[in-house]
């Protein structure tokens, strides 16, 4: 029940709502007990007595008595019942609204916490967990936990107090029959626990299948262009239907246990009812118990079993909710891999000197970088080239601490980046990636990711420097144009220029360009390259180049192969060395010459 205790902890800030709900639950319980107690008395008065004396006293100065006959009771009873049920309804509304609202507020806090914790986790965590799974944790798991938790809180207050009130009444009326009544309750608990355990297990498995569906949806909608291009719609439909059928199998098992629960409780409770009627009827016939008391007892007993069964049903719902809660708390309890050291220092604007000292790094125990050492002085351009899988992207990903080195160190201005506060470190670095990440926002707000408090003038100045202003003002709403999911409404070159404008606006001293022009046509590349030249001005720049023609004027070119630096130097020096760089250069430019001849 640790998960349930943690959930209760989130309700503490809303204790006032819980107190009001508790008061409302007391009103409901008192009303139910009053109804059960008065039934027998009223029936006795109506059918066995002609009149009933009522005494009213207001102290020594005034006292009187009067009688009410059966006809008067018939006239008063409807109004009394209406008044009682109006009071009960108001109490029930207050109780249900306040406790449900408190539960909603608590689970809203849980959803905020899980999202916040997700944002604090490292890239390794996101690489190991599919996007669809993480989305399902935040949406489906939290929703199931929310529904169950709110229902549990509501039932625990109302039904527990109602059951206790009715339990006290039946013991007051006849303790022997009361013992017979409650002796079947333990028999109800056992199947509820067994069914609850199965429902909890099935809930977790079902949520895993929902996560699979979320992954398929996320991948399908993100890659819909590729799916349609290759005509694979039917294949994806079959894939979705298969995953959906797997979820249905778990849902079917859950429904079976849920449907089985109520009939079992009904059968067990009937044993108690039959026993009470048998023994209670005997007591009435022998004169040990009055008829009106027996009627009140039977009514109270029937009303008692209702909240008891609700509580046991809620137990099953609670188990499903806890199954979801455990999955949610797994994310909340996930420890961030990248954190600030206790003695981490602040860092104002850096000069931009970067040094790698004997850096080694692995992905899942698979070596990616082996004893890499290199340095870049302020304002220098360092180009990284090599075959796919050489470790270039991993190397530059270590600078903003997307991952931490396993051995060795990375220094900025002579300070180990692990000794710098992470927020301050990230302010020193701007990134333009080969994957242009834009958001379903306006153009202005996408550029403002570089500086959230930037003015409109600063945004426009950055766009002009990135050669993006002209195409922006041609759009219907200019800088306020919404570019759609991942910038679907603009071209590849336009996306890249917006990313460059974002980096220009950030104005960081260290720049990372990860194959920023690899997916562009020649015309777009030339314009983007001009924007990149503006961006690189007076910044220490690390360039991962797909096209070697874009890095011919780099101050230093680092050639990597299988995680090792195999060559370094200027373009001319590396050509003269007749090594891997010359091989790559010759292969690429021979291919480009062949392409050029083929178009003639």
- Distances 165 to 33, 43, 92, 586 between C-alpha atoms, Å: 6, 22, 16, 90
pLDDT at 62 (0 to 100): 44
Distance CA 431, CA 529 (A): 15
Q: Where are the domains of the chain?
A: 2-53+67-332, 340-428+511-516+538-600, 434-507
* Run of H or E including 194: helix 185-222
pLDDT at 77 (0 to 100): 63
In 368-491, where does DSSP find H-type helix?
Answer: 392-397, 422-426, 443-447, 456-465, 469-473
pLDDT at 599 (0 to 100): 40
Residues of the chain with pLDDT under 70: 1, 35-78, 225, 292, 486-487, 516-525, 590-600
DSSP string, 81-138: HHHHHHHHHHHHHHHHHHHHHHHHHHHHHHHHHHHHHHHHS-HHHHHHS-HHHHHHII
pLDDT at 37 (0 to 100): 63
Written out in words, the top-level CATH class of the domain with range 2-53+67-332 is mainly alpha
Q: Terminus-to-terminus CA distance in the chain, angstroms?
A: 75
Q: Provide the greatest CA pair distance for the chain.
A: 123
CATH of 434-507, one of 1.10.10.10, 3.40.50.300, 3.40.50.20, 3.40.50.620: 3.40.50.300
pLDDT at 42 (0 to 100): 59
Helices 291-332, 233-285: inter-axial angle, 10-degree rounding: 150
534 φ, ψ (degrees, to nearest 5): -65, -40
Q: Confirm whether 2-53+67-332 and 340-428+511-516+538-600 share one CATH topology.
A: no
CB contact at 8 A, 107 and 146: yes
pLDDT at 517 (0 to 100): 64
CB contact at 8 A, 40 and 294: yes
552 φ, ψ (degrees, to nearest 5): -60, -30
Fold designation for 340-428+511-516+538-600? Rossmann fold (3.40.50)
């Amino acid at each position: 029940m640790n998960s349930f205790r943690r959930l209760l902890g989130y309700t503490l800030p809303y204790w006032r709502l819980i107190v009001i709900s508790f008061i409302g639950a007391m009103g409901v319980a008192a009303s139910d007990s009053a109804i059960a107690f008065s039934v027998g008395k009223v029936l006795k008065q109506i059918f066995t007595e002609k009149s009933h004396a009522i005494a009213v006293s207001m102290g020594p100065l005034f006292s009187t008595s009067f009688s009410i006959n059966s006809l008067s009771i018939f006239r008063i009873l409807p109004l009394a019942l209406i008044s009682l049920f109006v009071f009960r309804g108001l109490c029930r509304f207050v109780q249900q609204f306040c406790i449900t609202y408190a539960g909603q507020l608590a689970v809203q806090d849980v959803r905020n916490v899980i999202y916040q914790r997700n944002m604090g986790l490292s890239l390794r965590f996101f690489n190991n967990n599919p996007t669809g799974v993480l989305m399902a944790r935040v949406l489906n798991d939290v929703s199931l936990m929310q529904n169950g938790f709110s229902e549990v809180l509501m039932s625990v207050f109302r039904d527990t107090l109602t059951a206790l009130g009715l339990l006290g009444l039946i013991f007051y009326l006849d303790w022997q029959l009361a013992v017979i009544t409650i002796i079947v309750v333990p028999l109800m608990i056992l199947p509820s626990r067994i069914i609850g355990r199965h429902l909890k297990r099935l809930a977790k498995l079902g949520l895993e299948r929902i996560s699979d569906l979320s992954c398929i949806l996320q991948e399908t909608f993100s890659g819909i262009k590729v799916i349609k291009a290759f005509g694979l719609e039917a294949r994806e439909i079959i894939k979705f239907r298969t995953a959906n059928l797997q979820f249905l199998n778990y849902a079917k098992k859950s429904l079976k246990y849920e449907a089985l629960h109520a009939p079992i409780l009904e059968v067990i409770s009937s044993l108690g009812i039959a026993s009470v009627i048998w023994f209670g009827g005997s007591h009435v016939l022998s004169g040990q118990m009055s008829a009106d008391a027996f009627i009140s007892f039977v009514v109270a007993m029937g009303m008692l079993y209702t909240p008891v069964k609700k509580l046991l049903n809620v137990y099953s719902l609670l188990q499903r909710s806890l199954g979801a809660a455990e999955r949610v708390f797994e994310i909340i309890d996930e420890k961030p891999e990248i954190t600030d050291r206790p003695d981490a220092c602040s860092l104002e604007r850096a000069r931009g000197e970067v040094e790698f000292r004997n850096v080694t790094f692995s992905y899942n125990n698979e070596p990616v970088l082996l004893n890499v050492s290199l340095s870049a002085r302020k304002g220098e351009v360092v180009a990284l080239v090599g075959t796919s899988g050489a470790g270039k992207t991993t190397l530059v990903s270590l600078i903003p601490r997307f991952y931490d080195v396993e051995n060795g160190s990375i220094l900025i201005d002579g300070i180990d980046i692990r000794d710098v506060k992470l927020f301050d470190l990230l302010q020193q670095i701007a990134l333009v990636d080969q994957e242009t990440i834009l958001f379903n926002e306006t153009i202005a707000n996408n550029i403002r990711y570089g500086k959230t408090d930037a003015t409109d003038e600063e945004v426009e100045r950055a766009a002009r420097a990135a050669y993006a202003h002209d195409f922006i003002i041609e759009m219907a709403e200019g800088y306020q144009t919404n570019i759609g999911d991942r910038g679907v409404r603009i071209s590849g070159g336009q996306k890249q220029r917006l990313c460059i404008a974002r980096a220009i606006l950030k104005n960081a001293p260290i720049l990372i360009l990860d194959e920023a022009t690899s997916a562009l046509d020649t015309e777009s590349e030339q314009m983007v390259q001009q924007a990149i030249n503006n961006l690189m001005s007076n910044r220490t720049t690390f360039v991962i180049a797909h096209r070697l023609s874009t890095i011919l004027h780099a101050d230093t070119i680092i050639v990597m192969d299988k995680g090792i630096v195999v060559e370094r130097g200027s373009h001319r020096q590396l050509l003269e060395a007749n090594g891997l760089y010359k091989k790559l250069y010759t292969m690429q430019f021979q291919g480009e010459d062949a392409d050029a001849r083929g178009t003639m």
